[in-house]
Amino acid sequence: GTVSRAQLTQDICRILVDEAEMRLAWIGWVDEQTRAVVIEAAVGPAAGYVEGLSISVDVRRPESRGPSGRSLIEGCSITCMDIAADPIMAPWSGRAREHGLRSSAAVPLQLKDGTRGTLTI
């Protein structure tokens, strides 16, 4: 049978958490009207991190400058090895610390219909 995109994103995140022992894996998609990233799936002990998370692909906003926003804007993978020490991560560093997150990597996703997303771990 056919698997829905929502189920597939959930499964991808779960595999990364279970098999690669990530604290968090999430997938979000750009809402082309609002320029915000809408999170479709988030799995892991730190999944609460994404509640109310603000990420944008509007380059005028600071929420576009972290790994997830930049991966979508630049079309390449972006990493941050030390969230606490990186000034660009200021909008998220307190929340990341609360959830035990020290680093981040984001990979852009492109669907055949042009939908843009990010896989962030």
Output the pLDDT for position 111. 86
Output the pLDDT for position 24. 98
Beta carbons within 10 angstroms of residue 108's beta carbon: 19
What value does the mean pLDDT take over residues 86-112? 94
Tokens of 48: 């609460």
HEC secondary structure over 23-85: CCEEEEEECCCCCEEEEEEEECCCHHHHCCCCCECCCCCHHHCCHHHHHHHHCCCEEECCHHH
The model's pLDDT over 37-86, given as tens digits with 9 standing for 90+, comes to 999 999 999 999 999 999 999 999 999 999 999 999 999 999 999 999 99
Output the pLDDT for position 115. 81
